[in-house]
Chains A and B, each alone.
Chain A
Amino acid sequence: MTKFIIILLSAVFINNYVLSRFLGICPFLGVSKKLDSATGMSLAVIFVMLMATAATWPIQMYLLNPNGLGYLQTIVFILVIAALVQLVEIVLKRYIPALHKSLGVYLPLITTNCAVLGVTILNIDEGYTFAEAMVNSLGSGLGFFLAMVMFSGVRSKLEGADIPKNFQGLPITLIAASITSLSFMGFGGVIENLFA
């Protein structure tokens, strides 16, 4: 049990996907302008990360590895994720139109989001069991959510600020991201010592 908690908390805080691993920077900078779109995007990411892990982990362990096809990992994973996202979109549109309306626009973008491909590959690289992999994906998704929501708050403060001309737009956003990321560095070492 403790192991799961450690995996979850370190995925959320220490190895935060956006702020310390630099995965999924595009949506982090692009969709974090408004709180509601930030929330929608991150919920879609959590959802797709869990689905993708549930699909790719068994494929790697029971299909690719026993047949010596481990090198096909990249191709197979990206195809599985792309197909999965399409499938999820169709199913949501048909059966849960309300959810499709709020998450739907973000789903196609997630196919090329490196955080999703990243989490599926890292789960294999770290040698997690299926349950650990799922917990890690959940934690990574939650970490993405936390970073997005926090950062959309920071950005709403930036809107009215008087920023030097050359720093307007992306540069000041990146510097704000740098400070947000600095605050996450404070978590380093906390989780391990908590359960030591």
Chain B
Amino acid sequence: MTKLQNFSKGLIRENPVLVLILGTCPTLATSTGVESALGMGVAATVVLLCSNIVISALRRVIPDKVRIPCYIVLIAGFVTMVQMLVKAFAPALDKSLGIYLPLIVVNCIILGRAEMFANKNGVIDSAVDALGMGAGFTLALFLMAAIREVFGSGTFLGVEIPVLAQNNISILTMAPGGFFVFGLLIAAVNKFGKEKPKKKEFGCAGCPSAALCHGNNCAKEENND
């Protein structure tokens, strides 16, 4: 796979949010406005880039058995740095992201890429993968936020849009609107995606934490079926 393919797969074909369905919590929560969505996307991308590079560089040093705790500590360290930087240089963004900024630690995209990509590939490939995935995450957040802000509050990046501002559907900026727009976007990806929509269930398979429970949970779920 060339570097370009490696980068572009994160954007569309393996988009972390819309195709792999990772990182749903921050996607729903911070997509009320374009500005906070872009801020979240960039913050998560920075953490993802740093953690992928370091984890990939240390992949022969970290013992396999304790790799998940090691990854979590590394990720938490980078999140703390980003948190301090945002607090210092973009206090308004810090306010609008609030609790979701420290919660980047438990964003499945970051642990997921560490587990699925960075611990098997070289530093440069991992960095490119992180940039692609981060860009895909930011793109998905931007799409959702654009829909929710334009139709929900009738503004774009805070600038009023003439007709929509008087006829805004304010429910879209609230919690139910988040779920609704996300559902519509995934349906649109199913419809227009190149691959046939396989009957995708949200389950253990795509969950990076599956390694933590050794697939116990999936086995149980499947037995129930």
Contacts and interface: CB of A to CB of B under 8 A. Distances in A.
Interface of A: 19-26, 29-31, 33-34, 36-37, 71-75, 78-79, 82, 104-106, 108-109, 111-114, 117-118, 121-122, 125, 165-175, 177-179, 181-182, 184-185
A105 B220 contact: yes
Query: Most chain-B Cβ atoms within 10 A of its Cβ — which of A30, A82, A118, A184?
Result: A30
Contacts of A19: 175
Nearest to A107: B213
Given A108-B212, A179-B176, 8 more contacts: A22-B24, A31-B221, A71-B83, A74-B83, A78-B105, A105-B213, A167-B183, A175-B179
Query: Most chain-A Cβ atoms within 10 A of its Cβ — which of B84, B199, B212?
Result: B212
A21 B26 CA distance: 10
Contacts of A111: 72, 209, 212
Nearest to A23: B25
Nearest to B177: A178
A82 B175 contact: no
A167 B187 contact: yes
B184 to A, nearest CB: 7
B32 to A, nearest CB: 10
Given A30-B207, A112-B111, A166 B190 contact: yes
Given A37-B221, A166-B187, A108 B213 contact: yes
B76 interface: yes
A78 B200 contact: no
Contacts of A21: 29
B142 interface: no
Contacts of A78: 72, 76, 105-106
Contact of A75 (B80, B84, B180, B213): B80
> Contact residue range for chain B?
35 or more
Given A78-B72, A112-B209, A170 B183 contact: yes
B65 to A, nearest CB: 13
Nearest to B180: A178
Given A22-B178, A174-B179, A106 B217 contact: yes
Contact of B102 (A105, A117, A171): A117
12 contacts: A25-B24, A37-B224, A71-B80, A79-B69, A112-B111, A114-B107, A117-B102, A169-B202, A174-B179, A175-B184, A178-B176, A184-B175
Contact of B77 (A29, A75, A109): A75
A48 B124 CA distance: 39
A82 B221 CA distance: 24
A29 B200 CA distance: 13
Interface in B174-201: 174-180, 182-184, 186-188, 190-191, 197, 199-201
A117 B80 contact: no
B221 A34 contact: yes
Contact of A175 (B25, B175, B180, B217): B180
Q: Which 9 A-B pairs have the closest CB atoms?
A: A174-B183, A178-B179, A171-B187, A22-B29, A178-B180, A108-B212, A75-B76, A175-B183, A182-B176
A79 B224 CA distance: 33
Contacts of B201: 169-170
Contacts of B79: 74
A49 B188 CA distance: 36
B106 A170 contact: no
A105 B216 contact: yes
Interface in B13-57: 21, 24-25, 28-29
Contacts of B188: 166
B108 A112 contact: yes
A117 B72 contact: no
B157 interface: no
A131 B13 CA distance: 49
B73 interface: yes
